[in-house]
A = this chain, B = another copy of it.
Amino acid sequence: MSTPTDQDQTSTTNLTSSTSGDLPHSNEHICLIGLGAIGISFLALHLTYTSAHVSVYDPRPDLEEHIQSVLPLYLPAPSASSSVSIAGLISSKRLVIHSSLQSAVQAATIIQEQGPENLSFKQSTWSQIISHASPTAHLWSSTSGIPASQQLAHLPTDHPARGRLLIVHPFNPPHIMPLLELVPSPSTSLSELTFAQSYFSALSSGHRPIPIHKESAGFVANRLSFILFREACHLVNQGVASVEEIDEIVRASLGPRWAVGGPFKMYGFGGGKRGMEGFLDNIGEAIDGVWKDAGTITMDLGRDDPEGWQRKVIDQTDRAYGVLGPEEIKQRDKGLRAVVQVQQDLTGKDGEHREL
């Protein structure tokens, strides 16, 4: 058992004890590689909802100060005001900050990387990890776009690490957003999928790991989001509505709808007793009309063209919102927590939604 200091005894008893009986995964030792916004958020998630040992590594020279200053924003409210709690985590060895990747991964049972979104970085990082880590460690990548098969494409086709790498793609910010897309490569073992599912399902946070059946660019959530974003940019470019108007339209309609039920279920309501078939009968033609009229903008034109859609979208977004700083992030996270709480109140923490 750790010995918290007087100051953090109340707020961080759970966090500083790596052998707490209340929280799962006391036998796991998770190593986070890369402590940007996603890494810090995952760190908060593991510290708050598990009793696993946590090691971290990031090449930035001010890593400890960075964690001291940013992590409290992501931890539950009682300890958020106390920077001492981080010191407590460190002094109790619940959280160990490493100065080399080699030492960070050595004792880990789970290694989770969230480094730059760059294929050569991923490949060289995995090579280093594999040469120093346990041959049974679970390998997770938080990438938002680079499939597991590409991340290990430089290794021999029969390399055993190929069976252990799984994409565990969160939705920002991971310590609040329930989604974890689990995307195996064709080589990933089924047992890796099962392990990651049970790891996240065991948390009392209501996180919802969802296996994806095939690798694809952007997986599912980002893919759907990018496609909607394209049309939103097209409508701004056409002068149909402004950035701020489109944001407000989405908040007043699609956001609440899809927070309650996904697109298929909610459209199923539109077909009455005939469900989705009735819905397609009723408005399939109107849908098809929109599909055939959809915008087809690309990034090819570049941002410097003053007449281009990117300039309009950037300028309108800047004018509408300015710089989104820590206060806006707090407000955003308060909102996200409240909506996720509504979902949990309605359906139970496991995301079961048949009753909705």
Contact = CB atoms under 8 A, between A and B. Distances in A.
A258 B354 CA distance: 22
A27 interface: no
Counting chain A residues whose Cβ lies within 8 A of the other chain, the interface size class is: 35 or more
Contacts of A231: 223-224, 227
Interface stretch (A70-78, A170-178, A189-197): A170-178
A99 to B, nearest CB: 26
A255 B246 contact: no
Interface stretch (A86-94, A132-140, A154-162, A272-280): A272-280
A294 interface: yes
A83 interface: no
Contacts of A282: 117
Contacts of A153: none
A1 interface: no
A269 to B, nearest CB: 5
Contact of A241 (B217, B220, B346): B220
Interface in A309-330: 310, 313-314, 316-318, 320-324, 328-329
Contact of A217 (B218, B253, B289): B289
B239 A220 contact: no
Contacts of A293: 216-217
Q: Which 7 A-B pairs have the closest CB atoms?
A: A247-B262, A255-B258, A255-B259, A260-B335, A179-B252, A276-B317, A288-B299
Given A227-B227, A260-B335, A264-B316, 11 more contacts: A210-B245, A214-B239, A220-B235, A225-B253, A225-B263, A246-B262, A247-B264, A251-B353, A255-B260, A288-B300, A291-B299
8 contacts: A179-B253, A217-B289, A224-B231, A224-B250, A243-B264, A252-B351, A259-B335, A291-B297
